[in-house]
Structure 1
Amino acid sequence: MNISRKLMLIVILTAAEVSITVYSAFEIAKGAKFHQLNFLHLKYTHQLTKSVKKIENDLPIDINTIESDIVLIRQQPIECIEEINPLNYAVMKFINTEQTLTICEKDIEIADKTLLSVTQYKKGELSRDDFLLNLNVALVSFNKHSEMFEEPIRKTVSFILMTLIPLVIVISFFNIIFISYLSRTISSSIRNLTLLLSSKPESNINLDDELDIKTSGELKALVIAARQRIKNDLLNIENSIELKEIINSQTASLQQANDELAQFAYRASHDLKSPLSGAKSLAHFVIEDIKAGDTEEASRNALVIYQQMEKLETLVVDILLLAKAEIGSEDRDVIDFNQLIIDMKERLTWLMKDNPCTLETTINLSVPIKSEKARFAQIIENLISNGLKYYDRNKDSPYVRCDIFNEQETFFITVTDNGMGIPQKHQGEVFDMFKRFHAQTSTGSGLGMALVKKHIEYLNGEISLQSSDKGTTFKIVIPLDKLI
């Protein structure tokens, strides 16, 4: 199983565990709600009893207070019935406590009859003595139902506690063990690749054989893509009179590529391990919070786990895109840049919402551009999204402008903004992997600009930048003969 599938499985298992845990917490909390409803039922029954005592002592009848107390008594069994969902009913039926619903229904029926007596008394259709008798009969039933209600509810809540808490604990421990296993296999794969790429030439290791044995999935694709490019370059210059110098140069490039891959493997391992370790620890805290009955803290920790998994998913997607950047596709079509911009704006809705930056685009092409649409979509989206994210909050009218045009034999893309700019000392590192220069606003994986450069190099193009505290301009130049 490759790394992306393992990470997706971790996300699914964690989401399932969090869902079950949160649902269990709400079901356990529902038991307290039932006890609260019964307490209120007793409270309002006691208030009605005091009103009846006044009538028995020949005091004037406060008919409005009596009617209000009966309405309040009637409300408790109604809310109880509304709280019971199909799962609760199935549990009650299984443990023979479904009479709870019957008690609530009878309580509502008696309350309705008593309210009818109140109406009849108001109209003079019922005597004082008959009215008092009806009230006493109702009180006896209300008190009896409160006593009968407590035992089946206690039994139901106890059953849910004894069932859901062990279930949550078992699922949580299973998830911790399984996620730890997957995390260990991912780290092992990356560590093996790091050791393989770091091995010295004199160690007599057959890189091709070791690559097939110890590496798979996205990491293997990344290594193969890098090595294939170098092999192709070597074959193209094999008959050159400067073969020796070029071979030496390519050997140095191979060493640099291997060093970059070793660095990539180390940084990817670190960035993958961090959210996994955090999620594992938080899952343990969720278990402890549930044991302690702190469902609010459990929900907060569960949300943090979900955010860690989203971060992990973003990193995996960027690694996949980087691995595929140097693998060509034969599906070359004429690119509709107007539609490409529209599609990009839809994908960046989350970033452009409430963002004060204005986005301006101009397209001026005298010839149709034919290439792989996905490459240009990723190039333009990464550059524009960076401009939107790192706008300067201290400047009036922040903007990002993208111009797409051609002149003679050259195709151009320029993206300009008046944002925070890139510090001078870091401008040489812009296209390196895992580099971020504005930590307070950076949310990405640090692979976006490296991906842009890979695409442009694949198209035999060049990218340059100019940046200061007044803003940044990226300029892309691609030979037109690669795009027609």
Structure 2
Amino acid sequence: MNISNKLMLIVILTTAEVSITVFSAFEIAKGAKFHQLNFLHLKYINQLTKTVKKIKNDTPVDINTIEFDILAIKQQPIDCLDEVNYLNRVIMKVIKTDQALTICENDIEIADKALLSVTQYKKGELSRDDFLLNLNVALDGFNQHSEMFEEPIRKTVSFILITLIPLVLIISLFNIILISYLSRTISSSIRNLTILLTSKPEDSTNLDDELDKNTTGELKALVIAARQRIKDDLLNIENSIELKAIVNSQTASLQQANDELAQFAYRASHDLKSPLSGAKSLAQFVIQDIEAGDIEEACQNAKIIYQQMEKLETLVVDILLLAKADIGNENEELIDFNQLITDMEERLAWLMKDNPCTLTTNINLSTPIKSEKARFAQIIENLISNGLKYYDTNKDAPYVHCDIFNEQETFNITVTDNGIGIPDKHQSEVFDMFKRFHVEASSGSGLGMALVKKHIEYLDGEISLQSSNSGTTFKITIPMDKLR
């Protein structure tokens, strides 16, 4: 399956999952609406009962109040029948709870008879005693129906919860596993082709065999097109001078093809992010709807769906940044580090809120720094956010301090904290992908430090760390020649 088909499959699966989740939420909320209608039904029955009791005590008949109460009682079964769609009727018939609909219809008939009695009493066609008798008969019917209505509705809601919630969870789990698998296959295809194209000629005995073995779909077509273009041009070589010129031209063409391939990896990762972000937003909306219906168990299950999709989105975003780290596609500009720190604090407001850590920065630059601003924003934000996340709860004054300064030949960033530190046995793995050593304190993707190292290597810089249970210090040095 080629990459475009994989992306289309991801979109279809996500759309199907969200549709089923939203449908389930509305069906569960509808059960809460039925209980609410029955509560209102009892409320208006109680109001009518009080009015009838007053009539028995020779109180003057308040015919308008009686008519209003009967109309209010009638409205509840009408609303109930309006809420029920064809699928609901089929489900209720299968589980034998469709008597609830018959109860609503009978309730409407009783209300209509009571309203007829009101009309007859107004016209003087009905005596006070007969009118009172008819109202008592109607009240008996209303009370009986209200009691009978609750049980079939409870069974219907229970059936929906037992059926739809596990179905949503199973589909969501399947979706997460399949999307993760498809994402890995896309990343693996791009990575294998990149390694193949960047390998030296002697590293591969037969490029065609390697392409057939490791590459399919659009990626293979892209490489074949680039190679075919080179071959067609080489066939027209007539002398050594032309050969040299064409070789130089085709070398540039091949480099362009590699650049296009890298851009393709970027776009593919971006396309993966879009449907996942949409699924996350809809899942959050579902949570809010279910919470409004006060269905605690369903809400908790929906939150699990949302959390899983959010983790998957974070992973895709981090992979996107990691793939983009080797591509210098931004214009260089003079960097205002004071503004960069301010912007970073705004982005980390969620993390700094109620965080006991004190964040301090010291910027001391004797010369302007010119480079890609996004790289330095990601470097500094990842280092500082790690210090904020992994602070030591047993220390009275946790802090994170960032120094940004330059010397004659190097630009330096130092980030120091007095947090829980990194275990000695894991310090050599800090910059590896998907490595997290304090899972209980944070749930990131494990790509942050790998991204930092890629940015620094792109700038021909170096990063080192010192860590113990007293805290951690990261030191970064970058040649000034890369930043002018």
Q: Secondary structure at the match of 1:368?
A: coil
Partner of 1:317: 317
Partner of 1:399: 399
Distance in 2 between the 1:179 and 1:438 partners? 24
Deviations, residues 427-472 of structure 1 (Å, cap 9, x unaligned): 1111111111112112111111011001001101011111121111
Partner of 2:40: 37
> Aligned ranges for residues 445-456 of structure 1 at < 5 Å?
445-456=445-456
Distance in 2 between the 1:148 and 1:78 partners? 12
Amino acid at match of 1:390: Y
Q: CA deviation at 1:367?
A: 1.4
C-alpha contact (below 8 Å) 2:73/2:111 kept by paired residues: yes
C-alpha contact (below 8 Å) 1:37/1:80 kept by paired residues: no
- 1:418 maps onto 2:413 in alignment: no
Deviations, residues 243-290 of structure 1 (Å, cap 9, x unaligned): xxxxxxxxxxxxxxxxxxxxxxxxxxxxx9xxx9xx9xxx9xx9xxx9
Distance 1:459 1:145, change over 3 A: same
Partner of 2:263: none
Distance in 1 between the 2:78 and 2:327 partners? 57
Partner of 1:441: 441
> Aligned ranges for residues 33-432 of structure 1 at < 5 Å?
33-43=36-46, 45-46=48-49, 49=52, 52-53=55-56, 55=57, 74=69, 77=72, 88=83, 185-186=182-183, 188-189=185-186, 206-208=209-211, 210-213=213-216, 296-329=296-329, 331-432=331-432
Q: Secondary structure at the match of 2:379?
A: helix
Q: CA deviation at 1:352?
A: 0.8
Distance 1:79 1:133, change over 3 A: closer
Partner of 2:92: none
Q: CA deviation at 1:341?
A: 1.2
Q: CA deviation at 1:380?
A: 0.5
C-alpha contact (below 8 Å) 2:40/2:76 kept by paired residues: no
C-alpha contact (below 8 Å) 1:403/1:415 kept by paired residues: yes
Q: Secondary structure at the match of 2:32?
A: helix
Q: CA deviation at 1:19?
A: 2.4
Distance 1:82 1:100, change over 3 A: closer
C-alpha contact (below 8 Å) 2:465/2:475 kept by paired residues: yes
Amino acid at match of 1:27: K
Partner of 2:21: 18
C-alpha contact (below 8 Å) 2:44/2:73 kept by paired residues: no
C-alpha contact (below 8 Å) 2:172/2:305 kept by paired residues: no
Distance in 2 between the 1:369 and 1:20 partners? 54
Identity score, percent: 48
Gapped regions of structure 2 (runs ≥ 5): 90-100, 122-126, 197-202, 224-271
Distance 1:168 1:391, change over 3 A: closer
- 1:459 maps onto 2:462 in alignment: no
Q: CA deviation at 1:203?
A: 8.3
Distance in 1 between the 2:71 and 2:351 partners? 47
Amino acid at match of 1:453: K
Deviations, residues 163-198 of structure 1 (Å, cap 9, x unaligned): 999999999998788777656544555677899989
Distance 1:84 1:31, change over 3 A: same
Distance in 2 between the 1:354 and 1:105 partners? 61
Partner of 2:31: 28
Q: CA deviation at 1:423?
A: 1.4
Distance in 2 between the 1:90 and 1:311 partners? 36
Gapped regions of structure 1 (runs ≥ 5): 115-129, 222-271
Q: Secondary structure at the match of 1:473?
A: strand
C-alpha contact (below 8 Å) 1:35/1:150 kept by paired residues: no
C-alpha contact (below 8 Å) 2:414/2:473 kept by paired residues: yes
C-alpha contact (below 8 Å) 1:77/1:107 kept by paired residues: no
C-alpha contact (below 8 Å) 2:17/2:168 kept by paired residues: no
Distance in 2 between the 1:463 and 1:141 partners? 84
Q: CA deviation at 1:36?
A: 3.6
Q: Secondary structure at the match of 1:327?
A: coil
Q: Secondary structure at the match of 2:445?
A: coil
Distance in 1 between the 2:109 and 2:366 partners? 80
Partner of 1:225: none
Distance in 1 between the 2:341 and 2:454 partners? 21
Distance in 1 between the 2:159 and 2:421 partners? 59
Q: Secondary structure at the match of 1:416?
A: strand
C-alpha contact (below 8 Å) 1:80/1:104 kept by paired residues: no
C-alpha contact (below 8 Å) 1:17/1:172 kept by paired residues: no
Q: Secondary structure at the match of 2:463?
A: strand
Distance in 1 between the 2:427 and 2:169 partners? 46
Q: CA deviation at 1:296?
A: 3.5
C-alpha contact (below 8 Å) 2:41/2:73 kept by paired residues: no
C-alpha contact (below 8 Å) 1:34/1:153 kept by paired residues: no
C-alpha contact (below 8 Å) 1:14/1:175 kept by paired residues: yes
More deviation in 179-188 or 358-367? 179-188
Aligned length: 387
Task: Please give the TM-score of this superposition, normalised by the length of structure 2.
Answer: 0.61
Q: CA deviation at 1:413?
A: 0.8
Distance in 1 between the 2:173 and 2:462 partners? 47
Distance in 2 between the 1:33 and 1:99 partners? 19
Q: CA deviation at 1:140?
A: 6.2
Task: Please give the TM-score of this superposition, normalised by the length of structure 1.
Answer: 0.61
RMSD (CA atoms): 5.7
